[in-house]
Chain A
């Protein structure tokens, strides 16, 4: 099937404005008759729930954490992009649009990206009005910093905690609606199934994580803002609870999964210290503003980094990409780091690390200024590694960080299942094959504050409110299915723990479907994942009962989904016989090791339809057309 993204035609500059005019509206008096279920309360979900509640819809919001404020958006450090051009350095909506398309290696929809760039400016205003304490200069104006993949300073920030501050802004708006009674919040509640009635999304089945109760919530539309799936690698920068579960269960109910192979490996994370490790910690990309990446020129150089003289250091990013230097985009910086380590020139335990050196910056602007800019990051680094980065370089290694792929949506953020909307990292729409730094926060808030409030009305205006009630046979079936699934997990009573399976899956994924993929490695993964999945269903041990707080059961369900999803991810990576952005196939590279796209054959979105576990998924394509930017070889040299 050829998918239609339903993008507005005509000049892109006015596309969103024209589209907004064409969208249907719901009369203010009728809004309260519609119930919208919002799953996830991060930037996208929190902003959506708050905005929809404010418009007058009856909103129910769900999160697995004990508070909406703890969604993983909170961990974003560096900043949020906007095309304000406050520094007068040549930024514009067009430039942000162009940088994002190019950064994504020409694998995103033009119209969606244009809209993102256009509303980026409103986001900053909105957050300022909410009391988000963005950094200011001494005159009281908003301050900007530079970020990877751009030659202008367009990143707004709040110390090293921009994600936290933006999320707390959205959370405060959400709290206001909870008080007003327009939003009902269900914390510690995990979505485990999508209820589809007559082909349209009409509810979700959830598990109350405290009591273990399984129940269905019905609504007139469902909004998924449930984040990304890079925990499929086991070790990633995601929170422990981040999973593909909500998306995967929706996928199993008919929603197409687009571009699952596009995963972002972030270049600057603290290297793994041992097998006991449960997660990896990211160090903001903003560090590359002042930090210089280098590896020793000599292989296996075990000297203390401070003892390696200048001429024996390879500042590889500056050497390879003179115009962007240390601010090369993430996929490029990550691969470059891996190259150094594969070449035997890595530093630290196991040789999996490169140096991020601040000594030049400290000499230039003084330790005090560096402390002011990144103090909390240096502090965090010291807590984890016991090393003082003011005195010696940080050690960094790439780690899975973000998923550009996600559920397929059209221009209205609506999936192929009518009534199911997908926002933020959970959808696939704007980042193409690679996301630029400080763009995830922008997308989450754009979708939540400024897209879904308009586009959901277009769907709701066409449906009658309250069509499905909680005693509908589909709801009952969904509850029964979820109960049966959980009971199956609880009754295996095997010998291996859930984490052991997760670790094994992560190892397969990281080695075969990680930063560099080959036909051979992918085929190996596709062979091994079903075997591991089979073993999981025979031999996993989940203690406790379903009708109580049971963290093992929660994890088991999430890992079970990753065991199915991982296979799809490998299949997508195998089918995409090109390199682009975060998807790097070793067979397809330029002589200098850069990703080599195949625009003739792969300039499309690959959206997969679920046909059953252990059955081949079906690929649907949405061709990508570029009318406003020229398809070109991405160069940061």
Chain B
């Protein structure tokens, strides 16, 4: 099939950017979206033009590196799917596709479709851990963890940190990302000791990094390629209230 692409091109962080049009010809439905872009790039290189820069790495939907807003939806809108797992059979011959980078104050554009997501790191560094030392910990079975708690923690821990929640959020908020880590650790006995400091530190770091506030649009959950549920934001809010009374 043949497609018309409108891709955001921007040569550097300070440079002005604009949408440019490209034609993708003879695209196979079995190709992944990124493989389609690979081919467009191969043509651009042969013409001596600068290929489209985009982030990608594992190409199996787990590293969280890929980050494109396709036709207005982060990762393209197929349920629980990252861009790298999106296949061209989801599109039709003759389609026009808009491809843009994540857009949020906290994610400055580096080049074309590549953004700087260091702000997410700051949130994690503020408290997304248990302060256990290497070595000198108890046996894995010393503290029992009810299966439902382990499952709940795992549901939250599936977050791949791609930032689609921020890109989708009308407020540019990183609340889903932050809450996933807070909820994971708050659900486990190992995370209890620091639960109060953690939730306060992480939400404050989120604010400082330039992310907006959650106003419960739930757009994040709809865009999340791992289907992280906004119930974790409710959990974060509960944890926060507990912390206020500590």
99-150 of chain B: CB within 8 A of chain A: 110-111, 114, 116-118, 120-121, 124-126, 128-135, 137-141, 143-147, 150
517-556 of chain A: CB within 8 A of chain B: 541, 543-544, 548-549, 551-552
Enumerate the 5 nearest inter-chain pairs by beta-carbon distance, A residue then B residue, closest first. Answer: A140-B144, A172-B129, A129-B137, A133-B153, A129-B132
* A176 touching B146 in the complex, CB below 8 Å, given contacts A129-B190, A549-B53: no
Complex partner residue of B55 from A66, A139, A159, A279, CB under 8 angstroms: A66
Give 14 A-B contacts (CB < 8 Å), ordered by A residue.
A125-B138, A125-B140, A126-B137, A130-B132, A131-B191, A133-B157, A165-B154, A176-B131, A239-B63, A281-B60, A383-B78, A383-B85, A384-B87, A543-B44
Chain A's nearest CB lies how many Å from the CB of B3? 14
* A136 touching B30 in the complex, CB below 8 Å, given contacts A176-B131, A187-B118, A276-B35: no
Q: Which of B50, B130, B160 has most A Cβ within 10 Å? A: B130
Q: How far is the CA of A273 from the CA of B138 in the complex (A)?
A: 48
* A134 touching B150 in the complex, CB below 8 Å, given contacts A50-B134, A453-B134: yes
Q: How far is the CA of A145 from the CA of B22 in the complex (A)?
A: 49
Chain A's nearest CB lies how many Å from the CB of B177? 12
> Which B residues lie at the A interface, using CB under 8 A?
11-12, 28, 30-32, 34-35, 38-39, 42, 44-46, 48-51, 53, 55-65, 78, 80-81, 85, 87, 89, 110-111, 114, 116-118, 120-121, 124-126, 128-135, 137-141, 143-147, 150-151, 153-154, 157-158, 160-161, 184-185, 188, 190-191
Contact B124 A129 (CB under 8 A): no
Complex partner residue of A278 from B34, B117, B131, CB under 8 angstroms: B34
Contact B64 A70 (CB under 8 A): yes
Binding site secondary structure of chain B? loop
A345 at the interface (CB under 8 A from B): no
Contact B59 A278 (CB under 8 A): yes
Contact A240 B56 (CB under 8 A): yes
Closest to A132 in B: B157
Closest to A64 in B: B57
Contacts of B118 in A (CB 8 A): 66, 187
Contact B31 A274 (CB under 8 A): yes
Contact B59 A279 (CB under 8 A): yes
Closest to A53 in B: B134
Contacts of A50 in B (CB 8 A): 134
Contacts of B39 in A (CB 8 A): 276
A241 at the interface (CB under 8 A from B): yes
Contacts of B51 in A (CB 8 A): 543, 551-552
A67 at the interface (CB under 8 A from B): yes
Contact A541 B154 (CB under 8 A): no
Closest to A176 in B: B129
Complex partner residue of A449 from B135, B139, B145, B147, CB under 8 angstroms: B135
Contact A499 B42 (CB under 8 A): yes
* A136 touching B60 in the complex, CB below 8 Å, given contacts A142-B141, A173-B129, A549-B114: no
Complex partner residue of A173 from B64, B134, B140, B144, CB under 8 angstroms: B134
Contact B60 A241 (CB under 8 A): no
Chain A's nearest CB lies how many Å from the CB of B175? 19
Contact B62 A137 (CB under 8 A): no
Closest to A137 in B: B147
Contacts of A458 in B (CB 8 A): none
Contacts of B42 in A (CB 8 A): 497, 499-500
* A544 touching B190 in the complex, CB below 8 Å, given contacts A125-B140, A134-B150, A276-B35: no
* A131 touching B134 in the complex, CB below 8 Å, given contacts A140-B145, A543-B50, A552-B45: no
Complex partner residue of B129 from A51, A165, A175, A544, CB under 8 angstroms: A175
Contact A74 B62 (CB under 8 A): yes
A250 at the interface (CB under 8 A from B): no
Contact B147 A276 (CB under 8 A): no
Interface size in chain A (residues, C-beta < 8 A): 81
Q: How far is the CA of A196 from the CA of B141 in the complex (A)?
A: 46
Complex partner residue of A128 from B58, B65, B121, B137, CB under 8 angstroms: B137
Contacts of A379 in B (CB 8 A): 80
Contact B50 A544 (CB under 8 A): yes
Chain B's nearest CB lies how many Å from the CB of A240? 6
Q: How far is the CA of A125 from the CA of B44 in the complex (A)?
A: 51
Contact B46 A541 (CB under 8 A): yes
A359 at the interface (CB under 8 A from B): no
A590 at the interface (CB under 8 A from B): no
Closest to B112 in A: A549
Contacts of A173 in B (CB 8 A): 129, 132, 134
Contact A276 B133 (CB under 8 A): no
Q: Mark A60-88, 1 if CB is under 8 A from B, else 0.
A: 00000111011010110000000010100
Q: How many A-B residue pairs have CB under 8 A?
A: 216
107-137 of chain A: CB within 8 A of chain B: 122, 124-137
Contact B38 A51 (CB under 8 A): no
* A241 touching B57 in the complex, CB below 8 Å, given contacts A65-B63, A274-B31: yes
Contacts of A175 in B (CB 8 A): 121, 124-125, 128-129
Chain B's nearest CB lies how many Å from the CB of A126? 6
444-466 of chain A: CB within 8 A of chain B: 449-450, 453
Extra 16 A-B pairs, beta carbons < 8 Å, given A70-B161, A551-B53: A65-B65, A67-B121, A70-B57, A72-B58, A74-B63, A75-B62, A84-B140, A133-B153, A141-B144, A142-B140, A159-B158, A172-B130, A173-B132, A497-B46, A548-B12, A549-B111
A164 at the interface (CB under 8 A from B): yes
Contacts of A277 in B (CB 8 A): 35
A368 at the interface (CB under 8 A from B): no
A386 at the interface (CB under 8 A from B): yes
Complex partner residue of A138 from B50, B59, B147, CB under 8 angstroms: B147
A467 at the interface (CB under 8 A from B): no
Contact A140 B62 (CB under 8 A): no
Chain A's nearest CB lies how many Å from the CB of B146? 5
Chain A's nearest CB lies how many Å from the CB of B214? 22
Chain A's nearest CB lies how many Å from the CB of B136? 9
* A165 touching B157 in the complex, CB below 8 Å, given contacts A140-B144, A179-B125: yes
Contact B57 A131 (CB under 8 A): no
Chain B's nearest CB lies how many Å from the CB of A211? 10
A54 at the interface (CB under 8 A from B): yes
Contacts of A282 in B (CB 8 A): 60
232-246 of chain A: CB within 8 A of chain B: 237, 239-241
Complex partner residue of A125 from B61, B117, B137, B146, CB under 8 angstroms: B137
Closest to B45 in A: A497
* A133 touching B130 in the complex, CB below 8 Å, given contacts A67-B117, A70-B63, A383-B87: no
Q: How far is the CA of A453 from the CA of B51 in the complex (A)?
A: 43
258-300 of chain A: CB within 8 A of chain B: 273-274, 276-279, 281-282
Chain B's nearest CB lies how many Å from the CB of A178? 5
Closest to A126 in B: B137
Contact B110 A549 (CB under 8 A): yes
Contacts of B143 in A (CB 8 A): 128
Contact A126 B49 (CB under 8 A): no
Q: How far is the CA of A84 from the CA of B140 in the complex (A)?
A: 10
Q: How far is the CA of A69 from the CA of B180 in the complex (A)?
A: 15
